[in-house]
Amino acid sequence: MTRILVTGASGLLGLNFALRYHADHQVSGVVHRNPLNNPPFQQIVADLSDAETLQAVLDQSEPEVVLHCAALANVDECEHDPQRAYQVNVALPAGLARLAARHGFRLVHLSTDAVFDGQRGDYTEEDTPNPLSVYARTKWQAEQQVLETCPQALVARVNFYGWSLSGQRSLGEFFYYNLKQGRAVKGFTDVIFCPLEATQLADLLLRLVEKGAAGLYHVVSSECQSKYAFGVSIARRFGLDESLIEPVSVMEGGLVARRSPNLRLRTDKLAAALGEPPPGQAAALDRFYQLFLAGYPQQIRSLADGRVA
């Protein structure tokens, strides 16, 4: 039983992790604007961008491991409010890293595949990022500050989908719920990514912690596909109408922040640490589908107290 503090426990990854591991470990979860209704783990409501509050939360929970999922992860919101993006995505993890170095807890910090500009693809952990958006710039800054301050930290560049509190946090949910309602959607044919399912990602992160992995890791699927192909695979798995997905270029998407086209990340370092490659796309989708069959989306959404933004 490890004492694990999960920040961002109302978010997509944090909530999936906390729900999956609260029975095996002593999990506390920090939420901010979206408190949970009777979660099966200890809940702490706090604004962690305040340094004193952060210290108080750590004093209260005395974690052995901190899984830091809290972030301003909405790419377009970061573009509109760069100051808040810096506060939450850089200053907060940098503060956590200082505390980890001082107190000795294991810090797992979440970063993103979007630190790369996506011009080339096939990126390793040795390649130099070139972020295109405020969000991506803050995430890259945080990676560097965390590892400079606390080299024992694990920094994971990720991409994932899953079932969330609001039902709106992931691309998997976007395709499922829109197609289920018979609504036409666009799918980008020129954006390539390698997503894992959120509970799979939770499993891999815990395995890396148990193996004592430190430094920068790409923790994504071993296989990649376009966002359009991803949408089609969701439609097929759930028996929905794939013709509702219009294949388009990301240039036609009307998005605020620039997106990187080819985010194929290499996972050789991860595979070496785990002793096997990470899951492929079929396994990720199967996990998403099996959770759906087990009523997991409803279980998660029952934790929302009606104030989900």
Ligand X SMILES: NC(=O)c1ccc[n+]([C@@H]2O[C@H](COP(=O)([O-])OP(=O)(O)OC[C@H]3O[C@@H](n4cnc5c(N)ncnc54)[C@H](OP(=O)(O)O)[C@@H]3O)[C@@H](O)[C@H]2O)c1
Q: Which residues are catalytic?
A: 135
Considering only 4, 6, 8, 209, the residue that binds ligand X (CB under 6 A) is 8
C-alpha to C-alpha distance for 2 and 62, rounded to whole angstroms: 11
Token pair belonging to 23: 């029975």
Mask 166-185, x = binds ligand X (CB under 6 A)? ---x----------------
Stretch that binds ligand X, among 11-19, 226-234, 255-263, 281-289 (CB under 6 A): 11-19
Q: Is 265 in the site for ligand X (CB under 6 A)?
A: no
Nearer to ligand X, 105 or 174 (CB): 174
Rounded Cα distance, 216 and 36, in Å: 31
- Could you say whether residue 32 binds ligand X (CB under 6 A)? yes
Token pair of 87, please?
């506060």
Stretch that binds ligand X, among 45-53, 95-103, 146-154, 269-277 (CB under 6 A): 45-53
Task: Provide the residue type at 239 as one letter.
Answer: G
| Comparison of 55 and 243: residue with beta carbon closer to ligand X | 55
- Nearest-angstrom CA–CA distance, 196 and 210: 20
Identify the CA nearest to 82 among candidates 12, 90, 13: 90
CB contact set of 36 (below 8 Å; sequence gap of 6+): 9, 10, 15, 29, 43, 165, 303, 304, 305
Question: Residue 10 interacts with ligand X (CB under 6 A)?
Answer: yes
Three-state SS at 31: strand
The two tokens of residue 227 are 């966002």
Q: Which is nearer to ligand X, 143 or 235 (CB)?
A: 143
Q: Is 91 helix (H, G, I), strand (E, B) or coil?
A: helix
Q: Is 13 in the site for ligand X (CB under 6 A)?
A: yes
Shortest Cβ distance from residue 223 to ligand X (Å)? 16
Which one among 33, 102, 103, 120 touches ligand X, defined by CB under 6 A? 33
Asked whether position 219 contacts ligand X by CB under 6 A, the answer is: no
Indicate whether 226 belongs to the interface with ligand X (CB under 6 A). Answer: no
Measured at the alpha carbon of residue 68, what is the angle toward residues 1 and 263, in degrees to the nearest 5?
120
| Among 26, 49, 130, 144, contact with ligand X (rule: CB under 6 A) | 49
Interactions with ligand X, residue window 100-129 (CB under 6 A)? 110, 112
Shortest Å distance, C-beta 32 to ligand X: 3
Residue closer to ligand X, measured from CB, 140 or 182: 140
Contacts of 32 (CB under 8 A, 6+ apart): 10, 45, 46, 47, 48, 70
SS3 248: strand
Which residue, among 37, 33, 35, 29, has the nearest Cα to 69 in the 3D structure?
29
Applying CB under 6 A, among 75, 115, 158, 245 the residue interacting with ligand X is 158
**Would you count residue 69 as binding ligand X (CB under 6 A)?**
yes
The residue number whose beta carbon is nearest to ligand X equals 11
Say whether residue 12 binds ligand X (CB under 6 A). yes
Angle between helix 198-210 and 12-21 (nearest 10): 60
Residues lying near ligand X in the complex (CB under 6 A) are found at 7-8, 10-14, 30-34, 47-49, 69-71, 73, 88, 110, 112, 139, 158-160, 169
